[in-house]
Amino acid sequence: MKLIYCLVALLLFLLQAVPGLGLPKDTLRCVGYHGFCFRSKSCPEPFAAFGTCSWRQKTCCIDTTSNFHTCQDEGGHCVPPKIKCLQEQVGLCPHREWKCCMEV
């Protein structure tokens, strides 16, 4: 019985020690963009909706007063990495590997 308790304790330790282990992909993406998960469908001020969290159960909200603005808010367009930008723009895109372009 003590062996089972030790194994469970070790498993819980590993789940806490390894970042992102056990978290849904949409939650990891939200956290990667410095977002917060809210239960409501709309984000409180000064946050803006930026996808979902917890297997689409919550809304991912990013702070609009920080440097992490969405690409569209900055006047850009999100494009896949294979497309070359004439002028890159600072801003977040829904897909992590995509880039924000002012002109394509």
What does the domain layout of the chain look like in residue ranges?
23-67, 69-103
Instruction: Please say whether the structural domain 69-103 has been given the CATH code 2.20.20.
Output: yes
Q: Which residues face 45 on adjacent strands?
A: none
- Average pLDDT across the chain, whole number: 76
- Other C-beta atoms closer than 10 Å to the C-beta of 54 total 15
Domains 23-67 and 69-103 share a fold: no
Of 4-8, 73-77, 90-94, which range is least confident?
A: 4-8
Q: Tell which CATH classification among 1.20.1740, 1.20.120, 3.10.360, 3.30.1490 matches the domain 23-67.
A: 3.10.360
**pLDDT attached to residue 47:** 84
Question: For 57-71, how does the pLDDT look when each residue is reduced to its tens digit (9 = 90+)?
Answer: 999 988 777 666 678
